[in-house]
Structures are given as C-alpha cells and as structure tokens.
Structure 1
Amino acid sequence: MVCSTYIRSVIVQAGHIFDKKGLQLSHLGRSLHTIIGLPYTWNREFKTSRRMMVDSGGPVVDIVPEKDDDSGYVSGGWRSEDGELSCGYSSFRGKRATMEDFYDIKNTKIDGQAVCMFGIFDGHGGSRAAEYLKDHLFENLMKHPQFMTDTKLAISETYQKTDADFLDSEKDTYRDDGSTASTAVLVGRHLYVANVGDSRTIISKAGKAIPLSEDHKPNRSDERERIESAGGVVMWAGTWRVGGVLAMSRAFGNRMLKQFVVAEPEIQDLEINKEFELLVLASDGLWDVVPNEDAVSLAQSEEPEKAARKLTEVAFTRGSADNITCIVVKFFHSKADPASPQQDYPSMV
C-alpha cells in the first residue's frame, strides 16, 4: 500500500495544484503558450504541420494546411488518393489557460500496403508528454521490425518503449507530466485501435456507435485490482485517483506513479467492411459532455473536417471545461468491392 508519507511526497514534489485529471504542475521553466485574453495562436511548438509520408523512407509532404482563426479553432482535413478514406480534425484550447492536447495523422505505404495512423494525445500536468507522443509514437511504430507481420504486438511494445524513452528524456527535469494516447492504425482494411488513459475512439457501424476503447479510470474494477496488487491505492479526492493524485489509471509519463500508472495499451482489432461508416477519436474534453451516440449522429451529417469542427464547437457549447480535440475518419466503400464477412464486436486484450 502507498503510505500517507509517500502520497505527501508525491504532492510536494509535483507542485501542489490539482486539476480534474491529476496534478497541474507548476514550474518556472514552462512558458505559457496560450494565455486567456490574448488572440489565440499556436507558436512553433504547437502549430506543427500534419504530414503525409508517401512511402516508407520516402519524401514527406504537407497534408491540407491547418486553418487557424481568431475564434481559436485549429482544423484541417485530408483525403486518400483512392478516395476511399477522408479525415478531418479540429482542436480548441477551450476554457483552459494552456493547450495540452496534441494530435497526429500519418499516411504511408509499407511493402506496397497502405497504412494510415490517427492519434489523440491529451496531456495533464503539462504539455511535454503529449508533445513527445505526437513527435515519436508513430515514428517508433513504423520502425518496429514486426509492424507489418504482428501489428498488435508492435503497437503494445512501441507504446511501452515510447513511455520509457520519454521518462528517460525527462530524468534530469523536475517535471512529471503525463499524457493519454488513443490511436487508430489502419493497415489495408485491418483496423487496430489502442488506448491508454481516458481519451476515446468509437466507430459507427450501420449507424450504431460502438466504443473501441474503454476509459482507464482508477475505479474500474479490473484497474483498481491491478493497482492494488502492485501495492498502490485508489482514493477519493474530488474523484477517484491513483494515490489520491491522478484521475486515470494508465498514462504515459507520470514518473512518480509509474509503478501503478502503466502505459500498456488495450488493443482492439477488426476488419473494416461496408457496415463501418466512420471513426471518431477525441480527448475527454469532448467525451465529458458528448455521448458516443451524439458524436456519431453529429459526425454523420457533415464532411469530416466540418464534422470535427462541429463536434468541438458542440462540446464547448455544452460546457466542456477542458481542451477539446477530435479526429473524424470516414470510409467510402467502393461498390465494386465485395462486402467483407460480417464480424462480431471484437474483445479487448
């Protein structure tokens, strides 16, 4: 069990200020990238180009440029060359003083196979962990020697290695921030969804919203059992928290709670057939106020870029107090292709 002395030391070392997810770290070295009252712009650290790799090891070109307007929304979109896949994304600082959400979209070909990757990374206690994932997670995944032959294993090992690499990169700092990761990797028609934390991915199948990830909350019975078996404790402090500190049970980073707050993803995989219409990936700034069914209904009525923007706007209008970031991916199935066999809803591992 974690004794009270340990918990106090975690709080003292981390910085004293709670937010709804965990500890909002405060340190002199961190600059505020977005400040309430000033026009909303993303500087070099935040406004990074979404990129497309046209082939493994080949040149990198820009995807559709981001649109950044005075209202604070950053959005954009992309469509595959064969016209069977398009996506839109939107990100909004919302009511928070700083922006800690990041996202990444990549498209490439490996051994002649089309590969698309979509990721939402929601930072807590600072932006460094989420930014690190945006910069490194998919790059590390594509370098995994078994990425194409055993994609599920490659994702699991890459998540955990990237977490270790991030912690190593921060070992000489006083920061202890963390991040969620909810990612969707499409290899041909095979979809792999991996999740750590409380960002979420859902899919629309024949108009029905199906969650492809389950939020990692400390009071989830299996998560609580795992934490307590490792010697940790789940405590109520405004919400259920690991060690009374962190309001999610899995995350990247969070060095001081790493024994209990792991970065091992839960992964689902399925074959995309004609019944699957769209994907929605989003940070909990959306899911706190928009149910899965509403997200699908709203996304179906628009093209992906407009749908992503609409979802972030609706979440803000409904009172979300967090950063809000989402990606909408739509599938356009060729009528000439035979329908894939219907499959049961996959189980998480």
Structure 2
Amino acid sequence: MKRAANPTHDTPPEKLPRVGRGLGTVLWYNGRRQRGLVLCDDGEEMVIPSGGAVNRNMVPLTPSGLMHGTRVHLLPTLRNGTFTALSVRPAEPATQQGLTVGVDNQVNYRGDDRSELCAADVLDIGFLIGILDGHCGGQCASHVANSFPKILHDVYSFELGQTRGLETLSMARETELLRDVLRSACRAAERDLMQTASKGHWTDGTSATFALLAHGFDDSTVPTVPQTQGVAKIFLAWCGDTRALLLHGKKVVPLSEDHVPKRKDEYNRVKAAGGKVLDFEGQLKVGRRDKYKEKKSSGAWKDLVWLDTTRSFGDIRLKAPHNIVICEPDVLVRTLAPEDWALVMVCSKVTAKMSNQDIGDLCKDYFSQGKDAVAVSQALSFAARKRGATGNLTSVVMRFGWAPFKPEFLQTGSRRSKHAAQ
C-alpha cells in the first residue's frame, strides 16, 4: 500500500491514503485566498490549504487556474490527524473547457476615433478585459488600456491592506470588496489620465467597459458548474455607450445601460452641470452651454465639442471648468448560472446598426455551427459593417466553455431587445 508523505507510525489504517486519493475534482478553489476543496476519486473531500495548489494566486478561468470542475493530481498529506491536498495541479486540462476569448478590433487610423483593448490575467483577482472606445483621437483610450490592469491590482492590494486579511472576510464581503475595487480603479485611472492629458494637452476621450471574471466563490446552492460547490462572477464597470450582453440560454440579457443624453437622468444631470443638449439630425449630443451661447450668434456653435455620450474617460474640455461629462462608472455584479454561456462586449458603432437580439442571434447561429469565439467576434464586426457601420469597430466574445451550448438555445423566444438583468 502506498503511504502518504511523512505519515506517523501510529496512523490508524482508516487514515492511510487509499487508491483514488491521488486524483480528484476541484469543488472550488479561490486563488485570492489560495484555499479550496477537492473531491477525491475515492469519494472523500480534502481541503486544499493555503499554498497547497501549484498555481497559488494565478486564477484564470481555465482548468490551469483550478476552476471548479477541474480534474487534478494531488498529494494527500497528513496534518493534525486529517489528510489535506497538497501539490494540487491540473491532471487532464483537455477534458474541460475554460474561458475562450475572441476579439476583433478594426482600427481606422485615418479617422478621429481610435479603440483599444485591455486584457490581462490579473494576479490575485481574475481575468480582466475591456473595450476602450475612443473619440476625437486615441491617446486617452491607449493610455487607459495600458495602465488599467496595474491600477486595478494596486487598488486591490491597498483595499485588502485595510482589512484584517481575506481569510477574515465572508464570501459576500469579498464580492463587495472586488466590486468596490473595480469602481475605485476606474476613478483612479481617470485621475491618472487627467494628469497626463493636462500635461500633454490631450483633448480626446474614450468610453469604456471593463469586465472582470473571477471564480472560486464557495456556494453549493446553485453552482456555476453542476456537481461542484463553486461559482464564478462577472464584475462589470462602464462609462459611456460601449455595451455588454450576457447570453443566458436562448435569452439575450443586457448587463450595461448606455450613458447617453436621451436618458432622462443623464439629460437632467448634464443640464444641471452647465451642459447643453442639442439634436444633430436625430442624434442627441452634449456640449458646453457657455460656449454655445458665445458661438451661437456667429453660427460657429457646430464647431464646438459635441459628444454622443454623457460619461467618459478624458474629454478634458467638457470637465473643466464645468464637469459636464463625468467619469463615474456604473458597476454591476452577476453570479454566473449554469445557463450563462457567453458574454459579448461591443462598441457603440456596432450597436448603432445591430440590436441586442441581432447580436445574440448571430452568436447563437455561429456557435451552433461549431465556430470559435474569434470567428464569432469577426462575424459581429462584419455584420455591422455590412449594415453601414463605419470607422472603428470592436467586438469581444467570451465563451464560457464549461457551459454546453444546447440546441434549444436556437429557439426564437422573445423578440424583445431588452431583458432585465438579474
């Protein structure tokens, strides 16, 4: 009989490792806490203690990140009369699909708008991806895209340092911490950007949507992957009119709501801040009221800065001296259910030509043909372009490989373009 490493000589037979204890399935693993739980093939559960997993605090949403459901090798080790799982590492990564991401960023360098993508496995936190949909240039979009992952990690480290440690926090409080960190990171990125923009005399700006996907939350009630005890969560933050949609079964669920002047709350806020809202051939845009009055008599008011969006990073001309266009993100947290199989993020030029349902139907059609996330993201941009979209087009498709695509997802269902986010 193979014995565990360093067992005591008086270990009773029932405490000795049995066949099947060297292999198991992760029920949940939290890389931020570096702790988890594994179900051994012999039917026993073992705790993964701090430092017990080879990947430690690298927590991508892939089997190599020990996502719930991952098959693993492990070394049973006796501690205080109880076996724990050490040296936990993926055993059969090909047998389980994790997160796959497809992006299509068609940059038009000759135009006034420049979009950028931001993507990183952020140590201790999870997978981050963002669309920076620039306007009036591309300097702000590029700066935020490059700086945001580090800013996010710095803010997380600082906020965690204000607690007595992650182990003292409940899973609910950890969720609140990550939500607040994402919001604070957006504010910090804006402060950093405005300092640079002021020195460099940058006058452009960018809408942005950031999605942070994190797993390892212990919840056996409705796990993201059936027959496990873990859930993954989407933490979403956005400023402007880039859009995020969740594909839930056959439904298309909008997670974000555009910050545009046709929204009554945004319209009222802009007016109260000293802004002016005008109709440009059916498109409402915001600008400065004082500059409008100054230029109105000469007819040069159309030459002023007018934006389709009411929130953005940058756009210093609409933030000083009047804070008309703000950078206060909306933040949403959603626990992924087994029926959630993809997240789609697109720029405003795509949604100007395609409804939410159009986007969802195209994704379902292509995935049903066995296409991958890259092909689907390219198809979205191509479809928008075919319908008349011009300039920069950016599409991101994230396929949650642990959620199977079912034939019933192709059923038409409701044709409404909006469903309430859960």
Which residue of 1 is the match for residue 13 of structure 2? none
**Alignment pair present for 1:272 and 2:333:** no
Measured in 1, the distance between the counterparts of 2:107 and 2:119 equals: 19
Q: 1:201 offset after TM fit, Å? A: 0.6
Equivalent in 59, 83, 100 of residue 97 of structure 2: 83
**Alignment pair present for 1:306 and 2:388:** no
Which residue of 1 is the match for residue 147 of structure 2? 136
Q: How does 1:192-207 map to 2 (within 5 A)?
A: 192-207=235-250
Q: Which has the larger radius of gyration?
A: 2
Q: How does 1:1-349 map to 2 (within 5 A)?
A: 83-93=97-107, 97=111, 100-110=114-124, 115-144=126-155, 145-146=158-159, 149=174, 150-188=177-215, 189-238=232-281, 239-243=283-287, 245-258=306-319, 259-300=323-364, 301=366, 302-333=371-402, 346=421
Question: Unpaired segments of 5 or more residues in structure 1?
Answer: 1-53, 59-79, 336-343
Runs of 4+ in 1 over 4 A off after TM superposition: 54-58, 344-347
Contact 1:96 1:323 in 2 (8 A): no
- Helix, strand or coil at the partner of 1:170: helix
Question: Unpaired segments of 5 or more residues in structure 2?
Answer: 1-54, 60-92, 161-165, 167-173, 216-231, 289-305, 405-418
Q: Cα gap change, 1:234/1:98 in structure 2, threshold over 3 Å: closer, same or farther? A: closer
Q: Cα gap change, 1:93/1:271 in structure 2, threshold over 3 Å: closer, same or farther? A: same
- Helix, strand or coil at the partner of 1:172: helix
RMSD after superposition: 2.6
TM-score by length of 2: 0.58
Contact 1:289 1:320 in 2 (8 A): yes
Measured in 2, the distance between the counterparts of 1:315 and 1:95 equals: 19
Q: Cα gap change, 1:97/1:176 in structure 2, threshold over 3 Å: closer, same or farther? A: closer
Q: 1:93 offset after TM fit, Å? A: 3.2
Residue type matched to 2:107 in 1? R
Q: Percent identity?
A: 24
Contact 2:205 2:313 in 1 (8 A): yes
Residue type matched to 1:285 in 2? K
Contact 1:140 1:158 in 2 (8 A): yes
Measured in 2, the distance between the counterparts of 1:127 and 1:109 equals: 28
Give the stretch that moved more between structures: 95-104 or 81-90: 95-104
Residue type matched to 1:106 in 2? A
Q: 1:233 offset after TM fit, Å? A: 2.6
Deviations 1:112-147 (A, max 9, x none): x6x111110011111001101110122211221337
Which residue of 1 is the match for residue 293 of structure 2? none
Q: 1:237 offset after TM fit, Å? A: 3.6
Contact 1:141 1:154 in 2 (8 A): yes
Q: Cα gap change, 1:96/1:318 in structure 2, threshold over 3 Å: closer, same or farther? A: farther
Q: 1:323 offset after TM fit, Å? A: 0.7
Which structure's residues are more often helix, by fraction?
Answer: 2
